Structure 1
């Protein structure tokens, strides 16, 4: 190790810390909102179906924004785009709490999603120069960012519950302002500067970003979601042909585009990879059904405060932080497939155990439920990430990772939509049991599908798991 390596490593450590904090903001904000749904309902006078749009709008913007921001990072430089994203986050979260309407809150969530969507693709792009200047392997640096992402989603309800209890729902926006400022300063001081890039016309960049494909993707999902969420009292039947036409145009566009938003040809040519996406989307439907549904049920049906509901989700965060490194080692020692199947079995058990909340809302019972849910969350998450890298061709790894993130958001959107439909008649023990039944059935489907997921041996890719 040279003296320059000794000097570079502390700087790299601070840079990775700042990048991790920035990438944490997206999963953190996706989960903090879980305990704020009931207060938002009361403050704005919206029903349980309408309030789900504060979640859905965030995921729609994230699903479309991540691949687009990755391409903009290539065009303008990842460091520059990362800093711009933190400015957007700070401004959006400073203004949104003063909104006078629920629609404005949803718009603020969209801006927050776009700002945080710049972080992950930009951070990944900066890992290579960081590894080169410090001598630390890229997989190790990536592992630190992955742990921050996993932990961020898990601690969201705990932090959100405390903020909503003492400061109101507005605080889940305000807390992002200092976090974004700290991230901005850290990246500004320690992250590697962007390399010189050939000047590419903005029109070419936008053309290669497949803006029409993104708009058609959002139009397809939005029209379908509005139709499902407005089934009562009178369905908006005209939205069905709109959804079908938008979906058809989306497929036509993606098959003809040389730079598609979602590479459908890649999926058709790699069935193993397609199965990974399908399983990961179903896993996220199960997980987010519990993640958003349980706090809402505890507050509405059992009278828990937002803070108490958030604290009852704490075992999920604690288990995630402890078990994630163990799951990575399990992949190395016993293999990817046994680890993935074990996590899927635990997911079925965890989903079924959620029915206990309808029998007894006692804190000790809920704590056990959230702890049981934490095990499959971290095991399946890290194993599915490894399955992605094992199934994708090296030359397709970038676009494959982008579609993987999109499948996560689609799963979360489906979960919030299902909860909105099931809770539209009231958040009761009966509706909760129905939600648990749906989640458990999907967990069984997830396990059955994994029988057909046969990624290549991870032995050659163990650093990625570590």
Structure 2
């Protein structure tokens, strides 16, 4: 008889995983009141968003590697406790620089949840003999998408009840819940005498490379030409280091030989470039060119999130990923084409229709890439691979931000939206092509179907 998945793990896994998206989404409605309260212009409050993205992008694979080395329990407990400390710091913060520090700490503190969850899913699969726990993977994806829906609304309610500091204070009870559940339910990893040594120089070089790259992408200017030069230098030093040490932070030989996993990272980057650029570009256009209020624009977008959750929930238990990726990529191209057809006079029901269509790839692509990573990653490096997947997610978000800044520089007018859409059509088309060409996807879920958790 096959042992069942330990469902006591699901609550801490889901709660730890949503810490990052809830803090990513709530801040959107807090930027204006924070700026007014602290006398900070939008260019400065934007660092509250960028700071968390930067810390998360760098921290996810690093913390993931620590999860692989020491097990999920200590990293989960330390990370979620740090999120609570960051929430307290933000709640008591007297100035914007301290708030930015709090957001950076939140970024690092929320890094452990997703790698720890993926590690636990893999270890439970080994214990139970269920090689495809699609139900649990779907729960993680749907919970993150649900938080994306309720995050801004929750943030607005919290601010209305107690001011902008409440979007930081909410992390304190969430942190306590994570720490308590983690301490009670997460298994202890046995000590091993032959654990690999931590490659600290490799981690520092990787962090330097990624930080320089993100700083360049977050503020594209000709005067910052030296940043990509430094990125290349740090990347070269990182590659030399990782290829020479016996126990590297990222085994480039193994990673380079795993073309399927690299393809998943690439698809994740491409899909989130389109996803984030669409979300913020379309929202700005609805408000500035279609003259909708912020609340009305939010209602127009609500069907997108509802559709994404419905699609994830209904398709998540099917282990095959290639069909989901192909359908998602095709509908993503269609969504971007629809944006080119929009005008300020487009009726509301058609705008809602665009949102509904856009929810289909939202619900398919992220879940399918997560499932692909589960099957493609080296089981011994599941945590760091899951962290890298999140890094490519945030790289996509930052590229999307740069694209919105370039195409909507003079405002979110219709011509700017159309130009942005043409760029996104090209990105979505590349995503479709690389998906079609990736034959390794046929093997995932197609050979045998295990019972789901």
TM-score, normalised to structure 1's length?
Answer: 0.81
Q: Deviations over 1:42-68 (max 9, x none)?
A: 556666665543333222211221222
The answer on whether the counterparts of 2:138 and 2:312 sit within 8 Å (CA) in structure 1 is: no
| Corresponding residue for residue 99 of structure 1 | 93
CA apart distance, 1:319: 1.5
- Whether 1:159 aligns to 2:144 is no
CA apart distance, 1:426: 3.2
Query: Once structures 1 and 2 are overlaid, which stretch shifts more, 30-39 or 430-439?
Result: 30-39
Q: Deviations over 1:332-375 (max 9, x none)?
A: 5xx53333211111111223334566525865444333322211
CA apart distance, 1:223: 4.2
Aligned match for 1:207, one of 181, 185, 199? 199
Hey, what's the Cα distance between the residues in 2 that align with 1:227 and 1:408?
A: 18
The answer on whether the counterparts of 2:63 and 2:112 sit within 8 Å (CA) in structure 1 is: yes
Query: Once structures 1 and 2 are overlaid, which stretch shifts more, 335-344 or 248-257?
Result: 248-257
| Corresponding residue for residue 182 of structure 1 | 177
- Whether 1:343 aligns to 2:328 is yes
Q: How does 1:201-350 map to 2 (within 5 A)?
A: 205-207=197-199, 210-225=202-217, 228=220, 230=221, 235-299=223-287, 306-328=294-316, 331=318, 335-350=320-335
| Corresponding residue for residue 112 of structure 1 | 106
Distance 1:167-1:367 versus aligned 2 partners, 3 A rule = farther
CA apart distance, 1:107: 2.2
Hey, what's the Cα distance between the residues in 2 that align with 1:226 and 1:460?
A: 43
Query: Which consecutive aligned stretches of 4+ in structure 1 deviate over 6 angstroms post-superposition?
Result: 128-138
| Corresponding residue for residue 66 of structure 1 | 60
| Corresponding residue for residue 371 of structure 1 | 356
Q: How many residues align?
A: 450
The answer on whether the counterparts of 2:407 and 2:416 sit within 8 Å (CA) in structure 1 is: yes
Distance 1:256-1:443 versus aligned 2 partners, 3 A rule = same
- Whether 1:415 aligns to 2:400 is yes
Instruction: Report the secondary structure of 2:439's partner residue.
Output: coil
Distance 1:111-1:123 versus aligned 2 partners, 3 A rule = same
Aligned match for 1:459, one of 446, 449, 453? 446
Q: Deviations over 1:308-336 (max 9, x none)?
A: 5444432233212211132235x55xx53
The answer on whether the counterparts of 1:30 and 1:55 sit within 8 Å (CA) in structure 2 is: yes
Hey, what's the Cα distance between the residues in 1 that align with 2:57 and 2:448?
A: 27
Aligned match for 1:425, one of 397, 402, 410? 410
The answer on whether the counterparts of 1:164 and 1:172 sit within 8 Å (CA) in structure 2 is: yes
Hey, what's the Cα distance between the residues in 2 that align with 1:364 and 1:378?
A: 21
| Corresponding residue for residue 54 of structure 1 | 48
Distance 1:465-1:280 versus aligned 2 partners, 3 A rule = farther
Distance 1:120-1:274 versus aligned 2 partners, 3 A rule = closer
Hey, what's the Cα distance between the residues in 1 that align with 2:108 and 2:56?
A: 6
TM-score, normalised to structure 2's length?
Answer: 0.83
Distance 1:427-1:390 versus aligned 2 partners, 3 A rule = same
Q: Deviations over 1:230-253 (max 9, x none)?
A: 45xxx3344343333233333333
Specify every segment of 5 or more residues in structure 2 that has no aligned partner in the other structure, as ranges. Answer: none
Query: Once structures 1 and 2 are overlaid, which stretch shifts more, 41-50 or 338-347?
Result: 41-50
Aligned match for 2:390, one of 399, 405, 424? 405
Query: Once structures 1 and 2 are overlaid, which stretch shifts more, 127-136 or 446-455?
Result: 127-136
CA apart distance, 1:290: 1.9
Q: How does 1:82-97 map to 2 (within 5 A)?
A: 82-97=76-91
The answer on whether the counterparts of 1:162 and 1:307 sit within 8 Å (CA) in structure 2 is: no
Hey, what's the Cα distance between the residues in 1 that align with 2:347 and 2:158?
A: 23
Q: Deviations over 1:204-258 (max 9, x none)?
A: 8543683223322233314423551x45xxx334434333323333333333344
Instruction: Report the secondary structure of 1:459's partner residue.
Output: coil
